[in-house]
């Protein structure tokens, strides 16, 4: 039955407000990362206490369970993006992802076998595929590309609270009250997330009811500023897709865009960002346990110096990406990640002085995480939007944005999949210090590629 757009729903204005839409996506991403991260510091202890896994198998199972989450995200991201681009609104798949997340949380709470925990992590990965694909597409739909960097930077700094709070609270609450209380926090957050996803109304849906965008004035100001920000890629012919393309390209023209070196390096940035996150997630708890004798509480607290700088500096770094382009932030972020990664080999068994060294080096890494959070999405969005503007007859009216973020989610999830496997295997084989040296070398290579290929000028305002 067709929707009657002559009768606006209750609360249309506030439900389609830009801030509410951004907050809804932010809460969705926060919930995903919170319920992902809540397991990180307590997983070794769940495996030991609940499943009686031998100590020498803990790192293997920890890395495998983290990889299951990310592997499911890789598989399901592209289908989620294709479906989201085909549907008239993105709210339905956004809600669907929450169902998978609820099922996952229940299984993680009650599971008493490795198989059940693996299924839980797979369902959690499916939910992540949806929320990161559909959610980021909703952000671009809402704010446009001229504000994408600062918006993404602000959202990422907010959701990094989830990364911060989950390990800390997970460790504290598990130590004091057990796993039931830990997952009780998760269920409370799911209720808030569900209410907001159910209430939100997208801009393009609100427009069908005749509601004008309340952000038009802000957009006009941004548009007035944007011509002053020179962009080196104004030539539309550069982005034109030749007509003699095979059927699969004409059906999925985004595949042609992947030939662009800027887009490929942007995706490499997402991959390496995820590898770094997964490396810390999978090795910090076990290294803290082995090096300092930390329990779940102290292992969770050890994430604070890593995430806090990310929280404070994310919006500022995102604004810098909007103003100066992705090249500078990404090159510096990955380049400056090398020294603290190498220095993490210095702390050894000991007291507060060694713990302080470990925290300082983690904080240095946290600053660089703020720098590398926005460049991938901003650069990828710009490149694809240029292709879309020059080839609208191929892409269609809606564009391929959910599909783009699906690919970004796949690449990011691939990094989360391989990160624990690589870092866990290297840690067992050559030790924590040498493992970080290998990761530092990877960061150095990515830094050079960012300087060579990413856009250095500001991404100008682009209108669909």
Whether the Cβ atoms of residue 126 and residue 72 lie closer than 8 Å to each other: yes
Q: What does pLDDT average to over the chain?
A: 81
Provide the pLDDT confidence category of residue 228 given band limits of 50, 70 and 90.
very low
Sign of the C-alpha dihedral, residues 364, 440, 409, 126? negative
Q: What is residue 213's predicted lDDT score, i.e. its pLDDT? A: 60
Asked whether the predicted pLDDT for residue 70 surpasses 80, the reply is no
Q: How far is CA 346 from the centre of its chain?
A: 30
Which pLDDT band, with edges at 50, 70 and 90, does 16 fall under?
confident
Structural domain includes residue 7: no
- Percent of the chain with pLDDT strictly greater than 90: 17
What CA–CA distance (Å, rounded) separates 197 from 98? 9
Residue 458 lies in a domain: no
Look at residue 464 and tell me whether its pLDDT is greater than 70. no
Query: Residue 76 falls within a domain, yes or no?
Result: yes
Asked, for residue 431, whether it belongs to a domain, the answer is yes
Query: Is residue 304 within 8 Å of 164, Cβ to Cβ?
Result: yes
Residue pair 101/127 in contact (Cβ under 8 Å)? The answer is yes
Q: Within a domain: residue 344?
A: yes
CA nearest neighbour of 448 among 272, 285, 279? 272
Q: Please tell me whether residue 71 adopts helix, strand or coil conformation.
A: helix
Q: For residues 409 and 267, what is the distance between their CA atoms, to the nearest angstrom?
A: 9
CB 309 within 8 A of CB 366: yes
pTM attached to this predicted model? 0.75
Please indicate, yes or no, if residue 167 is contained in any of the structural domains. Answer: yes
The pLDDT assigned to 315 comes to 81
- Report the SS3 class of residue 378: helix
Residue 385 is predicted with a pLDDT of 85
Residue 462 counted as domain residue: no
Task: Find the CATH number of the domain harbouring 425.
Answer: 1.20.1250.20
What range does the domain containing 207 cover? Answer: 12-453
pLDDT at 124: 87
Residue 364 — pLDDT band, cuts 50, 70, 90? very high
Q: What is the pLDDT of residue 411?
A: 87
Tens of pLDDT, residue by residue over 260-308, are 999 999 999 999 998 998 888 778 888 888 888 887 678 777 888 888 8
Q: For the chain, what is the domain count?
A: 1
Give the pLDDT band of residue 172 (cuts 50, 70, 90). confident
pLDDT band at 443; cut points 50, 70, 90: very high
Asked if the model's pLDDT at residue 74 lies above 60, the reply is: yes
Q: Would 5 be classed as within a structural domain?
A: no
| Residue 397 confidence class, pLDDT cut points 50, 70, 90 | low
Highest mean pLDDT among 1-10, 65-74, 83-92, 447-456 belongs to: 447-456
């Amino acid at each position: 039955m067709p929707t009657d757009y002559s009768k606006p729903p209750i609360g249309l204005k506030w439900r389609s407000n830009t801030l509410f839409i951004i907050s809804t996506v932010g809460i969705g991403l926060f919930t995903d990362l919170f319920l992902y991260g809540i397991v990180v510091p307590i997983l070794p202890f769940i495996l030991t206490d609940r499943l009686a896994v031998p100590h020498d198998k803990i790192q293997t199972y920890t890395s495998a369970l983290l990889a299951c989450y990310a592997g499911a995200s890789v598989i399901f991201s592209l289908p989620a993006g294709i479906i989201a681009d085909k549907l008239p609104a993105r709210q339905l798949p956004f809600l669907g992802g929450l169902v998978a997340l609820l099922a996952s949380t229940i299984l993680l709470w009650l599971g008493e076998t490795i198989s059940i925990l693996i299924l839980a992590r797979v369902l959690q990965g499916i939910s992540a595929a949806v929320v990161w694909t559909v959610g980021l597409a909703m952000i671009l739909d809402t704010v446009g590309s001229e504000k994408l960097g600062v918006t993404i930077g602000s959202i990422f700094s907010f959701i990094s609270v989830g990364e911060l709070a989950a390990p800390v609270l997970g460790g504290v609450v598990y130590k004091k009250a057990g796993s039931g209380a830990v997952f009780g926090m998760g269920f409370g957050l799911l209720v808030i997330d569900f209410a907001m996803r159910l209430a939100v109304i997208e801009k393009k849906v609100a427009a069908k009811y005749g509601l004008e965008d309340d952000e038009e004035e802000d957009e006009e100001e941004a548009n007035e500023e944007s011509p002053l920000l020179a962009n080196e890629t104004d030539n539309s012919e550069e982005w034109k897709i030749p007509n003699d393309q095979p059927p699969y390209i004409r059906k999925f023209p985004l595949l042609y865009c992947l030939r662009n070196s800027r887009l490929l390096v942007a995706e490499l940035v997402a991959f390496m960002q995820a590898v770094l996150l997964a490396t810390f997630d999978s090795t910090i708890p076990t290294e803290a346990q082995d090096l300092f004798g930390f329990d779940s509480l102290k292992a969770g607290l050890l994430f604070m110096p890593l995430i806090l700088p990310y929280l404070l500096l994310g919006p500022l770094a995102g604004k810098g990406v909007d103003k100066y382009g992705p090249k500078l932030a990404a090159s510096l972020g990955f380049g400056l990640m090398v020294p603290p990664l190498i220095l993490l080999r210095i702390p050894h068994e000991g007291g507060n002085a060694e713990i302080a060294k470990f925290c300082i080096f983690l904080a240095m890494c946290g600053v660089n995480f703020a720098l590398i959070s926005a460049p991938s999405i901003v650069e990828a969005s710009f490149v694809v939007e240029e292709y879309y503007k020059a080839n609208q007859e191929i892409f269609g009216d809606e564009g391929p944005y959910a599909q783009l973020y699906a690919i970004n989610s796949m690449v990011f999830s691939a990094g989360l999949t391989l990160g624990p496997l690589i870092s866990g295997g290297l840690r067992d084989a050559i030790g924590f210090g040498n493992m970080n040296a290998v990761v530092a070398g990877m960061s150095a290579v990515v830094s050079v590629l960012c300087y060579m290929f990413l856009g250095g000028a500001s991404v100008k305002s682009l209108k669909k």
